[in-house]
Structure 1
Amino acid sequence: MNTNTIDKLAHSLGRRDEVPNQELANAIVQCTNNEAVRELVKNLHHKSKDIQNDCIKVIYEIGTLKPEMIADFSSELINLLDSKNNRLQWGAMTALNAITAIKPEAIYNALPKIIATADQGSVITNDHCVGIMIKLCGVKEYNESVFSLLNERLLKSPDNQLPMYAENAFHVVNTKNKVAFVKTLTSRIRGIEKESKRSRIEKVIRKVNKM
């Protein structure tokens, strides 16, 4: 592959859709082009916001397909959480979610910043923050401390997102935290108007109670 990766981005090709970026991510993964990944990371600070946006898109698509290819850039991704460019911010959160299982210590240490970013961020940012927390809960040494933070997030998460969060979090519930988890979900059910969403949460509660 030509190492001038930037020429293959959607904006460089005069495209407004994401297909070129997705194709570029696939091509980079297929030939394990680490040089291309380095070029993408370097250009996250390009003077063109469109180039920045395309670069983060390709990076998190690579992370979805082959997270180890972007894992060494965890510090650069964490720093992007401070960006005033919202696309870079939630794109970085998406990429961090993809590499949490590979770099749990780095992500755990950045958790205060990750949570602070999610508190001010979009739905996508919050979704990936919760995803990061759930993955960290799967790491034995972090389970107890991160689960308490996850539980706090469930208490204040939007009604629309709560059923999905509860379903995903079920997999890291254990005998030590199940009571707190059920208490949180039970307290939230009363305020949820849509029956289908209440039903999904009630199903999670029943599964936990059978543990």
Structure 2
Amino acid sequence: MSIIAQLATSLGRKDETPNLELAAQIAKINNKKAIQELVANLSNKSKDLQHDCIKTLYETANLKPALIAAYFNDFISLLGSKNNRLQWGAMTALNYIAAENFDAAFHALPAMAAAAEAGSVITRDHFVAILIRLCANRQYAADAFTLLNEQLRHCPANQLPMYAENALPIINESNKTAITQTLTARLNDFEKESKRKRVEKVLKKIR
């Protein structure tokens, strides 16, 4: 049975379970041909099949990023898609495979930043996650942190507590002053006290 025939849409299913199960199977047996077929069908005439393909690809990437890493540029190309599902799905995949090729991820930051600015909350979430991954790499840490701090300055207030919490592992002596200033400056941006308290908790850990 072809890989496409095993996707949720092909099976007449409305849930994601078949795609999740397929991703697990592909990762388990290192099925490179399956990945190739899924990538080829990201331009399928059926949007439902496109969505199943990107879902299966990024779920596979989450389980075994090295299996998907060769398609980095294909996902970059999708960041400009008018199909929002493909756009944020591509950024999700890029987040999972960024650590497989930090150099490619670093050089693709302008394209990813543009997509994050124009795209959905999910697109931005995964872009910020990529920046945090790059901050953990000594070679790219300084430049990546500059971009991360910019995101923290201007991102929607609802997302800021999560971003700040996720950034904690990469905060060090060289960047803690900058991030402290950024977070402190945004403490009055929250409608919900619970979100403000989460950022205040991060600040206490930094100090």
TM range (shorter): over 0.9
CA RMSD of aligned residues (A): 0.8
Q: 2, 21, 24: which one pairs with 2:22?
A: 24
Question: What residue number does 1:204 align with?
Answer: 202
Q: CA deviation at 1:101?
A: 0.9
Distance 1:24 1:141 in 2: 36
> Is the aligned partner of 1:42 residue 2:40?
yes
Q: CA deviation at 1:183?
A: 0.1
Q: 132, 157, 160: which one pairs with 1:159?
A: 157
Residue ranges of structure 1 left out of the alignment (5+ in a row): none
Distance 2:191 2:78 in 1: 37
> Is the aligned partner of 1:96 residue 2:91?
no
Q: 46, 58, 61: which one pairs with 2:59?
A: 61
Spell out, residue by residue over 1:44-64, the C-alpha distance to the aligned partner (whole angstroms, 9 max, x if none).
111111111110000000011
> Is the aligned partner of 1:124 residue 2:87?
no
Q: CA deviation at 1:173?
A: 1.1
**Fraction of identical pairs, as percent:** 55
SS in 2 for 1:140: coil
Q: CA deviation at 1:126?
A: 0.7
Q: CA deviation at 1:197?
A: 0.9
Question: What residue number does 1:115 align with?
Answer: 113
SS in 2 for 1:38: helix
Q: Which amino acid aligns with 1:72?
A: A
Residue ranges of structure 2 left out of the alignment (5+ in a row): none
Runs of 4+, deviation exceeding 3 Å:
none
> Is the aligned partner of 1:70 residue 2:68?
yes
Instruction: Tell me the matched-pair count.
Output: 207
Taking structure 2 as the reference length, the TM-score comes to 0.98
Q: CA deviation at 1:195?
A: 1.4
